[in-house]
Structure 1
Amino acid sequence: MTATVQPGSGAPSACPSPAARVRSGAARVAAPVGVALVAVTGAALLGAVNPHQPGHYPTCPFLWLTGLYCPGCGSLRAVHDLVHLDLAGAWSMNPFLVLVLPALLAAWVAWLRRAATGAARRRVLPAWTIWTILALVLAYWVARNVPALAPWLAP
């Protein structure tokens, strides 16, 4: 918040001008809006250029080096399928991504709401939550590479 000087008093005012409030509000939402623009642009690109056809996108580096699927393998194809409203196709490419996207969207909405209202940033997630997320990602990573566990997890 910028302080303005009252004419004749020499003391700064506690209330910024309306123009300063608008600028500060626009600046606060710039980051979440920028992330949304990047995400929408990427989804539009994936909707237009089909990753199911070979030659459009590079191979996953982890898959290329090890022959194993990473937790993100199939994500480009899953997003393409979601853009075309094919939930079953997206699920077959990367079910973890399909399950995580609503949580990411909810986190983005909360971020935008906090930025728009100027609310204070909430504290970081508790350690047990972060460890649980890490354990889920690692379990998914292992399960999709062991055909006896879950052959349907391979993209």
Structure 2
Amino acid sequence: MTTAKDIMHTGATWIPAHETLDRAAQLMRDHNVGALPISENGEQDRMVGILTDRDIVVACVAMGRDPSKTTAGDLAQGTPRWIDAEAEVEAVLEEMQTHRIRRLPVVENKMLVGMISEADLAQHLSDDQIAGWAEKVYSRN
């Protein structure tokens, strides 16, 4: 049985909701990631969203907003999705497909332990599994 913990990459980093988007971009660069879970108040706190590099570009820069004044919390929307570290890979795929998301935080004992991205799926799943996932996540329906 393959679990979320088996396919995730470790070292996921939080960004507090009060931090600015320019700081978020620096963290993404420093950690070589494209997404950061947003915490309500700080490290290992309640997750209020996920910030992606695309969010910074589309919802801030392209809208003429200043990334040094816009916070991660300003862009946190909806209900954040996550998966338990012991969840089977089928549950991971279902969560990502159902909510059409490409990055999924992995939690163990209420603590962030990693993140699952498209690259992680590509490294650990069969071509058929990847094709099915991509069809559901990227379809316009």
Common fold by TM > 0.5: no
Tell me: higher relative CO, structure 1 or 2? Use CA pairs within 8 A at least 6 residues apart.
Answer: 2
Structure with bigger gyration radius: 1
TM-score (norm 1): 0.27
